[in-house]
Amino acid sequence: MRQRLDAIGLTDFSDAVRPAVFSPDESKLYFQVSFFNGFLEYDVASDRITRVKTLPMNPATSTDRTTWVNDSRHHGISMNPSGTKLCVAGTMDDYATVVDRATLQEGPLVTASKPYWATVSGDGKDCIVSESGADQVTAIDFATGQKTVSVPAGDHPQRVRLGHVEANTLG
């Protein structure tokens, strides 16, 4: 991504791609990079970055990036099945938010303790975020951007992904 970042003047951005998610038609890639509070939109056909979304910084978060976990200002992104909403984990800023994909307008900042990854619930209605600082996972409604529930998950949950297994294969 280095050449693509440089082409739009982002020479000071890291080119270390963090979590990423494709649009349902695989025409766009939304990705995070080290040290940045936000994400970028990459157009596959034109091979260029088309939009950059900067998300709010938590004023309580240190600006000393050596204190950020694994160089991650924000580390976690998912998309609802229809491709209209993104969910972003603001790891070092202690929130998660749902972002409208068309406008890139963020919704409410849902307080979360070191949210680390984001995925989609089995029914596609919620974003599921691991809160590694609170030992829980939290569901955020894609439609409203509001937290629906938090569930204890044991010590320091990080990577969350859902898998689907046919019931008859579970013997």
More confident residue, 30 or 66: 30
CATH code, domain with 129? 2.130.10.10
Q: pTM for the whole thing?
A: 0.92
In a domain, 169, yes or no: no
The reported pLDDT for the residue numbered 24 is 97
In a domain, 167, yes or no: no
H or E stretch covering 2: helix 2-7
pLDDT at 67: 84
DSSP for 3-54 reads HHHHHTT-TTS---EEEEEE-TTSSEEEEEETT-SEEEEEETTTTEEEEEEE
Q: Is residue 152 part of a domain?
A: yes
Calculate the average pLDDT of the chain.
93
Segments forming the whole domain that contains residue 30: 2-58+69-161
pLDDT digits (tens, 9 = 90+) for 114-169: 998 999 999 999 999 999 999 999 999 999 999 999 999 989 887 777 776 788 88
Task: Report the distance separating Cα 36 and Cα 68, nearest Å.
Answer: 11
